[in-house]
Structure 1
């Protein structure tokens, strides 16, 4: 079957593409990696060129781009496209109804990760897809219940080039979860992470809001990535919420608080324990941060975070049982 795959630019997107490929028995003609806030732009530029099957995975909806997404999907469907969309982020019921009405075959399940949705509904008897989805969900939705997830996430995120993720999709498609080359990458990545924690320690501020500690960091260069840095800083400071900003976006993490509420207030979204939004820091503060003067940007972000959290309040995450892989 010839098809295009449109997936999130992360481990879950990569795993989703591989699990789907195994489900249909073939690799995609082209994989498009993107972000939720850029999906409408990608769809606008997409031409079928004789390929009439499209899968979209691990891409949630941003309210401000939904109408554009519907418009472009309707265009593609009118040209003969068949579209399957797999996602696990929080959606409004009206979004699901609208997409189904125009002909999108939608699989939506918030109990698992993107790859988990595809495994559950398209290929539940494939043992390899079960293992890959288990590892992926462990880190993507902060379950941290499968050690392979911590290892594979580092492998996938080791190289930001799309060509690397394409190679990994082929590797997973062929039923290879780990190989000797991954051992070397993991060792090198872990060494860089240990050095990187020194940078992280110079780039954060601790707030106390309504009795909860919130640790805020401005992004650093290189490893560790946001997932591991957040765990490190929350453990070190006793914080309930971790926030990071890079000048253009903001991310929230927690083990106990529904941080998606904060991201939604800023126009974004995500998972209850891992979410984000666009947040453009003033140019002057970004420039100062780039040359090593971090306080102005930290102060500005801290004020935004304080206001958002004060308005929304702390909402305890009500755990939902995830799909069992064992």
Structure 2
């Protein structure tokens, strides 16, 4: 095999059947990282009697899941969206959901344009955008303002997601959740107010060993590009946030772009322009951390695999140089 297999596609008929036959009154559609897991713990504490059906989604699959949901009767139940930002054309799915009888609440902390906020707010029942907090923190404040456990969950998650790194628990959990198979265990522990246990510690130690190897491999494959900014572009082998921080420290870069074999990329930057760069390439995010998509051809994949770079490396570095802070 030349390339890694792509992540499995959603089993659409099964998901539709599960949602159609749901007993839960809340469907929680969220991202797939630490912020999302924390938000899901908050949802399950708040709606323990109503029940929660959770869908963890990548940014790219977000519209697909909305389309799946829009084909199932809502019956007055709530679709709660968290930690996922506006995508162009998403309003058509929202309108279909409303027609199907869903109540829609959306909580996010990414950067939205004013016209996007106005458009979505005219359709959904609740829209809460707060770039000063993580999505989990927004959910905890909105849903369970007096619950001690959820407030602590929000603080720990925001410490990691907003890059404060003042609480050592957040770094451990954020890293452990780089492996998606750990999501349910961490979420269930958070619901109990537990932030560390034997399984979490074991996973963390194993990941640290693997991550050190990944960082060195990424550094060897990296290209330093750009004129206005020192922009590192490199293949992604895992742990994008931690690897970007490592590259910045080692190579004194301004911008780090880690590119996966599928064309997805993760970007981190010292100047607050990551979200602007990502939007040019079909993505979005925060001023200092974002993600997007390159439309790879087969040739692009071959070049990335064997030469560790392709035409998109220069494209994104050159575009970054045109951005004003």
* Superposition TM-score, scaled by structure 1 size: 0.84
| CA RMSD across the alignment | 2.2
1:138-149 to 2 correspondences below 5 Å: 138-149=159-170
Alignment partner, residue 319 of structure 1: none
Alignment partner, residue 43 of structure 1: 66
CA contact (8 A) 1:219 1:246 kept: yes
Partner residue of 1:219 out of 236, 241, 246: 236
Helix, strand or coil at the partner of 2:230: strand
2:223 maps to 1:205: yes
Partner residue of 1:180 out of 198, 213, 216: 198
CA contact (8 A) 2:79 2:102 kept: yes
Over 3 Å counting, the alpha-carbon distance change for 1:87 and 1:263 in structure 2 is same
Helix, strand or coil at the partner of 2:118: helix
1:273 CA drift (Å): 0.7
Helix, strand or coil at the partner of 1:201: helix
**CA separation in 1, counterparts of 2:187 and 2:143?**
17
2:81 maps to 1:56: yes
**CA separation in 2, counterparts of 1:243 and 1:305?**
9
CA contact (8 A) 1:203 1:219 kept: no
Helix, strand or coil at the partner of 1:175: coil
Helix, strand or coil at the partner of 1:202: helix
Helix, strand or coil at the partner of 2:122: helix
**CA separation in 2, counterparts of 1:14 and 1:51?**
25
* Superposition TM-score, scaled by structure 2 size: 0.84
Partner residue of 1:311 out of 291, 297, 322: 322
Partner residue of 1:11 out of 28, 31, 34: 34
Helix, strand or coil at the partner of 2:292: strand
**CA separation in 1, counterparts of 2:44 and 2:76?**
15
Over 3 Å counting, the alpha-carbon distance change for 1:284 and 1:299 in structure 2 is closer
1:78 CA drift (Å): 2.8
1:269 CA drift (Å): 0.8
Alignment partner, residue 11 of structure 2: none
Gaps of 5+ in 2: 1-23
2:307 maps to 1:284: no
1:26 CA drift (Å): 4.8
1:1-326 to 2 correspondences below 5 Å: 2-26=25-49, 28-46=51-69, 47-48=72-73, 52-63=77-88, 65-66=89-90, 70-158=91-179, 160-161=180-181, 164-210=182-228, 212-220=229-237, 223=238, 225-247=239-261, 248-290=263-305, 293-295=306-308, 298-313=309-324, 315=325
**CA separation in 1, counterparts of 2:177 and 2:50?**
18
Over 3 Å counting, the alpha-carbon distance change for 1:299 and 1:100 in structure 2 is closer
Alignment partner, residue 320 of structure 1: none
**CA separation in 2, counterparts of 1:213 and 1:99?**
37
CA contact (8 A) 1:36 1:59 kept: yes
Over 3 Å counting, the alpha-carbon distance change for 1:304 and 1:181 in structure 2 is same
Over 3 Å counting, the alpha-carbon distance change for 1:300 and 1:28 in structure 2 is farther
Gaps of 5+ in 1: 316-326
**CA separation in 2, counterparts of 1:257 and 1:80?**
40
**CA separation in 2, counterparts of 1:281 and 1:76?**
32
